[in-house]
A and B are shown apart, each in its own frame.
Chain A
Amino acid sequence: ETGVTQSPTHLIKTRGQQVTLRCSSQSGHNTVSWYQQALGQGPQFIFQYYREEENGRGNFPPRFSGLQFPNYSSELNVNALELDDSALYLCASSLGPGLGTEAFFGQGTRLTVV
């Protein structure tokens, strides 16, 4: 167990809908990153939040957005869902955004878009 918890574990949505995924970071961790993992592939970086601000983003469109709260928990929001958004969404927390700081992953949320 990493101490990083994600909810829900599974979710089914219809194309065009919006979804919110949640992540509670490990105690003491102020940095949260979100990744998308399509079936049979490695995780791909979506964005990172550090002290409630987005401080880095991958190649994902603006309909992927996030929030980080004062307790450092985080949300990932996806608008106008597309079939290709079906994936495992992973949250990782760390003590800071710096190089070499170990990231601890949650178990993920499996999103299916139909």
Chain B
Amino acid sequence: GESVGLHLPTLSVQEGDNSIINCAYSNSASDYFIWYKQESGKGPQFIIDIRSNMDKRQGQRVTVLLNKTVKHLSLQIAATQPGDSAVYFCAEMANTGFQKLVFGTGTRLLVSP
């Protein structure tokens, strides 16, 4: 379904560590996946995306892994910085003819200096 959790899981890391944020998605027909970062008082900000015909994609300091067999998505952030502290959401989209992003349960990332 499209329900999301009421309580945000939290990942606390030290500056310089690598962070891994996980997400389970619901729709096996989803073709496109995106990770968003949301800072307090702001809208979601695009980080990286991946299509269903790929299993890995790398950006600047970020890597997204897609495992369609178990419907799992992960975001890896290398050398995490205090500015990375935010809530991270994965979102999925199926090819329905319109853009309907279905967001997963967010994860709060706290980076300590």
Main secondary structure of the interface of A (DSSP, over half): loop
B-side contacts of A105, CB under 8 Å? 36, 43-45
Q: Within residues 13 to 70 of chain B, which ones have a CB less than 8 A from any CB in chain A? A: 31-32, 36, 41-46, 49, 51
Select which of B41, B99, B106 is within 8 A of A42 by beta carbon. B106
Q: Within residues 41 to 61 of chain A, which ones have a CB less than 8 A from any CB in chain B? A: 41-45, 48, 50, 55-56, 58-59
Would you call B43 and A99 a contact (CB within 8 A)?
Answer: no
B-side contacts of A59, CB under 8 Å? 2
**Chain A residues bordering chain B, tally (CB within 8 A):** 32
- Whether, in the assembled complex, B102 has its beta carbon less than 8 Å from a beta carbon of chain A, the answer is yes
- Whether, in the assembled complex, B93 has its beta carbon less than 8 Å from a beta carbon of chain A, the answer is yes
A-side contacts of B46, CB under 8 Å? 102-104
- Whether, in the assembled complex, A68 has its beta carbon less than 8 Å from a beta carbon of chain B, the answer is no
Known: A100-B51, A105-B43, A106-B43. A42 touches B89 (CB 8 A): yes
Would you call B43 and A42 a contact (CB within 8 A)?
Answer: no
Most chain A CB within a 10 A radius of its CB, from B45, B97, B101, B104: B101
| Assembly CA distance A100 to B41 (angstroms) | 26
Would you call B103 and A44 a contact (CB within 8 A)?
Answer: yes
Would you call A42 and B4 a contact (CB within 8 A)?
Answer: yes
Would you call A107 and B2 a contact (CB within 8 A)?
Answer: no
A-side contacts of B95, CB under 8 Å? 99
Would you call A40 and B6 a contact (CB within 8 A)?
Answer: yes
A-side contacts of B42, CB under 8 Å? 107-108
A-side contacts of B8, CB under 8 Å? 40
Specify the chain A residue showing the minimal Cβ separation from B46.
A102
Nearest CB of A to B41, in Å: 7
8 inter-chain pairs at a CB distance below 8 angstroms, sorted by A residue, are A35-B101, A41-B4, A42-B89, A44-B2, A48-B98, A100-B51, A103-B46, A103-B99
Binding site for B on A (CB under 8 A): 2, 4, 31, 33, 35, 40-45, 48, 50, 55-56, 58-59, 90, 92, 94, 97-108
Ranked 3 nearest A-B pairs via Cβ: A42-B103, A56-B98, A105-B43
